[in-house]
Amino acid sequence: MGATTYLKNIQSPEDLKKLPIELLPLLAAEIRELIIETVSRTGGHLAPSLGTVELTIALHYVFNSPQDKIIWDVGHQSYTHKILTGRAERFSTLRSHGGLSGFCRRSESPYDAFSVGHSSTSISAGAGVAAGKCLNGDRSKVISVIGDGSMTAGLAYEGLNHAGDLKKDLIVVLNDNEMSIAPNVGALSNFLSRKLTAKTFQDWRNELKGMLRPAPNIYNLFKRMEESFKAFVTPGMLFEAFDFQYIGPIDGHRLDHLIKTLENVKNIGTPVLFHTTTVKGKGYEPAEKNPSYFHGVGSFEVATGSCRSSGKKAPSYTQVFGDTIVELARENKKIVAVTAAMPEGTGLTPFHDEFPTRFFDVGIAEQHGVTFAAGLATEGFRPVVAIYSTFMQRAFDQVLHDVCLESLPVIFAMDRGGLVGEDGPTHHGAFDLSFMRCIPNLVIMAPKDEDELRHMLFTALNHNGPVAIRYPRGQGLGVPLSGKPCLLPMGKAEILHEGDDVVFLAVGRMVCEALEARKLLAERGVSAGVVNCRFIKPVDGETIAEVVKKVPRVVTAEDNALMGGFGSAVLESIQESGITGVRVSRVGLPDRFVEHGAPGILRSKYGVDAQGLIKAATNLLNDFPLKSNG
């Protein structure tokens, strides 16, 4: 990035306020350049943050953070917020291990009022903060910023409903950059929004309402006239129904309009919905043309927007899943696909293109998506619900109560299982094996490679009950893909290699690490067996018993939390078998939230790689050197 004129002097929002309004567009241009240059190297959420540069400047220009709490939803739009709050010099470390998080974190800065990562939480959190401030006698402001996509989640409306009823001093900023909920944007609407928020108008409005309340008929007539007028020039009646005063829509890239209107909104003192319209990817042509691709992007060439590639790669697990479900759906017309606002991320775009009437995107509404799929299953369909592991957490009750209680044949394709890297603790799929394993009637599988994923999907679709298939982010191992998917024996593990000294019982991507560990141990004269256990539930107790009778030194391997995970299942199985004298070392993720960083760094740090397995096996051999249990 070239030398900056204005940004270099801003270490906090107080420095920002020293700039005259007419210079703020120049500051916005410098911030955009820094965001584009940084994300081109680190990857990240580019298009959403480019769309909120002016809005963020206006919020920090008008309000007094961190005393006034600005709560961001998801955090996709918060890069400018980080830059303006003392983190510009460290912005180059974005999403790097030990560097800045890609999301807002309370532990990172006092300006980050609420830690975020999953969408649609800002209104509920803001309502709680506003209620707490009221109880404390604190008159500072609370501003919740939420995007139009996040407004598709039920949690957002639960928050609106309660916040409107509380009638606390809460400002909700709706950043509308995609949905068609603002058909009346224009000069008249912008003009009226600024005038209707002016203090003189608000004082007159409230005084008139107070005078008319003793005459209910006249008061109701006045209220209906006001609502009719607003409905004609703005799209805000939905929010008025929640007892929010609706203001907008305002052009989210006109700093003078934003600042003037926000200064007026600041003084209203009751729940307000401030609607602003922005352009996703604003200021960077490739991102404006393809905002979906640049929503969350890897490293890229700034000049062209093209991905920085290291050559030909194996297909990703996501791509293999997407291709396989299309292949199977051509033969089985009862297969339908459901996703929660992630058709591209889950690999379902080809399915949508070929079977548009059998594809359902429910928006950011995982709970609804799962119960919706359960309803489809009762009508004889085979729903495949593709949701990232981290987001499946949000639908736990629906999986348990609406699907598994009656053993409905719904398939959960859980992408991004295990460590996902730079998105960090809010996005690691570190808990799915644990929280899914406790649910009755549910079969849980994890493929060792992308070809086995194809067989697992076919097997799941032929099983008369619920199945979860958990697979990792990123490219596969590059193994050849077999012709047609075939049935796997339900609940049966696969012995890949026999061993005399130690045995690795592994699931998912950890099978590959176990095979590498076996090879390296062989160079030291250690004979290690490897079992691809495939099924986390039902775990293959018969094969486990057979193996541990021969080799009583066992290392379990999973990229999941150790508490309640696959290793726990193995311990339970051995205990239930009555076999004694078996020594088990469990390799997996510790009882903590794993930070963000490159996947290789994290796997090495937490020992969920070949070297971690070698260490566990070596410790077992040193502590228990006997060749058998007698």
Q: Which backbone phi and psi does 250 adopt, to 5 degrees?
A: -115, 140
Q: Which of 54, 366, 450, 558 is catalytic?
A: 366
- Is 586 one of the annotated active-site residues of the chain? no
Whole-Å CA distances, 385 to 338, 411, 438, 493: 5, 6, 20, 25
Q: Which of 168, 394, 437, 470 is catalytic?
A: 394
Distance, in Å, from the CA atom of 75 to the CA atom of 295, rounded to the nearest integer, reads 12
Tokens at 205, concatenated: 């409005």
- Indicate the SS3 state at residue 564: coil
| CB contact at 8 A, 81 and 72 | yes
Catalytic choice (105, 260, 280, 416): 280
Beta strands in 340-478 (DSSP E): 359-361, 382-388, 411-417, 443-445, 467-472
Helical H runs in 167-284? 187-196, 199-212, 216-233, 237-241, 255-265
Pairing of β 528-532 and β 494-497 = antiparallel
Known catalytic residue at 41: no
Cβ-Cβ contacts under 8 Å for 337 (sequence gap 6 or more): 325, 329, 348, 351, 352, 355, 358, 359, 360, 383, 384, 386
Burial (CB count within 10 angstroms: exposed 0-12, middle 13-18, buried 19+), residue 471? buried
Query: Cα dihedral sign for 542, 548, 550, 551?
Result: positive
422 belongs to the catalytic site: no
Q: Roughly what angle, to the nearest 10 degrees, separates helices 255-265 and 187-196?
A: 30
What the block records as the tokens of 10 is 């801003």
Residues 6 or more apart whose CB falls under 8 angstroms from that of 211 comprise none
* Dihedral over Cα of 367, 369, 372, 373: its sign: negative
DSSP lists the bridge partners of residue 145 as 72, 173
Long-range CB contacts for residues 226-232, cutoff 8 Å, separation at least 24 = none
C-beta of residue 196 within 8 angstroms of C-beta of residue 268: no
> Among all residues, which ones are annotated catalytic?
280, 366, 394
